[in-house]
Amino acid sequence: MSTRRRAAAASALLAPLLVLPLAGTVATAGAADGPLAASIAVDWQRTAARTIYTERNTPVPVGTLYLAFTSLAVHDAARKAQRKGTHAAAAAVAQAAHDVLDHYLSASGDALDADLDTSLALIPDGAKEDAGRDIGAAAAAAMIESRQDDGRGDMGILYDKDPGLGIWQPAPGGAMALAWLGFVDPVVDVDLVALDGPDWVDTPEYAVDYEEVRLYGSVDSTMRTVEQTAIARFFAPNAPLMYRVATCDLLDAEPLGLLPTTRLFAQIDAAVATALIETWRLKYDIGFWRPFEAIAKGGDDGNGGTNVHEGPGPWVPLIANPSYSDYTSGHAGGTSPFAEVMRRTFGDDTPLVLKLGTVERSYATLSDLEDDALNSRIWGGLHFRDAMDDGYHLGHTTAVQVMRVIR
């Protein structure tokens, strides 16, 4: 199946019953919009995050694919079960999430079975529950079928660009991590986002970005503040997991109906996965070097605006760099679609509390959150600002397109 046809098939799972709410509003009417079904939907989002990231330690970008598969199947199940009532819809949501996660992350099968038992114990036994479980199982099976042979894990895809000015290279003996991700079939059928590529090494714009990260991104920077260092470290481990927990906490405090809940997660996760697939293809095709490589050759780049690092040793970033190129930023691809869907659903002044272990950071607006997430990658020495700015444009634009498809 072609990638476009596969994406269209996945979108078709969602198309028949979708009704787009007015921008900036949240629909709440529906036969299944009692608190039970919506609460179970949020619980399974926590379960998905726990299973994918905490239990199975899935690489962050790959985990976004499994979140998308789960959320799309759950939304499909919720729409199809809603007219049968709250109990059927609740059972459908639980079964769909369980079956998708169990298929892709079977090592957590016992825990997922226990989670399903917990959900079903809240639902009265009977024909409604049975019908809902059948709908959920069918939605999961359809999603799994649509993603067979979709390019995940293709180890035959290797990054092999020759060394040169501005070209990222893996460490000796290493390889580009997750090179296959940019070749995975689309999650939903939307247009690629046109970008102008990185500011090249000989441009004044490149020199400005180079100097910013050189001065603020090193492990021993004297320009970066204590607060900036804390922000860089806070956003480094797993931003999508923090966003997922914060969204679940928000919906606990301000519950939505079932369909607005499942729609929200389906839109977020499909947008993030779609943005990251395109991001990884750009990383593979362009292969622009990371700041630590650029600064090591600052005296030989032919740009009069870049200064050579002066110190007893090489320039070292605050945060260790992953084994893939700078442009565009994967962190931007995980942050900006999430923020844009949330912004268009609730408004920019949506308060969120992000948690990393015992550390919490509260944000009054989504724009404030995005600003910190963006700057964290510069203060951490991981990206040039251009890779973040273009990554945000890619993510915002992708989110808008995805929200038109998933309704």
Q: What pLDDT is attached to residue 156?
A: 97
Spatial contact of 69 and 139, defined as CB atoms under 8 Å apart:
no
Beta bridge partners of 218: 317
Q: What percent of the chain has pLDDT over 90?
A: 90
CATH class held by domain 201-405: mainly alpha
Per-residue pLDDT reduced to its tens digit, 216-241: 999 999 999 999 999 999 999 999 99
Q: Band of the pLDDT at 13, cuts 50, 70, 90?
A: very low
Segment 362-381 shows an average pLDDT of: 98
The angle at the Cα of 191, spanning 79 to 67, to the nearest 5 degrees, equals 45
Q: Which among 337, 331, 315 has a CA at the least distance from the CA of 402?
A: 337
Query: Residue 335: is its pLDDT beyond 80?
Result: yes
Q: What pLDDT is attached to residue 7?
A: 44
Residue type present at position 327: Y
Range with the lowest mean pLDDT among 17-26, 212-221, 301-310?
A: 17-26
Instruction: Report the predicted TM-score, pTM, of the whole model to 2 decimal places.
Output: 0.92
Q: What pLDDT is attached to residue 311?
A: 85
* Helix (H/G/I), strand (E/B), else coil: 361: strand
Q: Is the peptide bond before 328 cis (omega within 30 degrees of 0)?
A: yes
Q: Taking the chain, what is the end-to-end CA distance rounded to the nearest angstrom?
A: 25
Q: What percent of the chain has pLDDT over 70?
A: 92
Range with the lowest mean pLDDT among 227-231, 297-301, 346-350, 369-373?
A: 297-301
Q: Which region holds residue 289: left if phi is over 0, alpha if psi is between -120 and 50, else beta? A: beta
203: tokens are 């441009």
Query: Residue 18: is its pLDDT beyond 70?
Result: no
- The widest CA-to-CA distance across the chain, in whole angstroms, is 75
Query: Residue 207: is its pLDDT beyond 60?
Result: yes
What are the sequence ranges of the domains in the chain? Answer: 15-146, 201-405
Segment 204-227 shows an average pLDDT of: 98
Segment 94-120 shows an average pLDDT of: 98
Mean pLDDT of the chain: 93
Measured distance CA(95)–CA(80) in Å, rounded: 13
Query: Residue 377: is its pLDDT beyond 70?
Result: yes
The DSSP code sequence of 295-360 is HHTGGGSS-TTPPPP-SSS---BSSPPPSS-SSS-HHHHHHHHHHHHHHHHH-S---EEEEETTEE
305: tokens are 């605006």
Measured distance CA(334)–CA(242) in Å, rounded: 11
- Sequence-separated (6 or more) residues with CB below 8 Å from residue 374: 332, 335, 385, 388, 389, 392
The DSSP code sequence of 274-304 is HHHHHHHHHHHHH-BPPHHHHHHTGGGSS-T
Q: What pLDDT is attached to residue 32?
A: 54
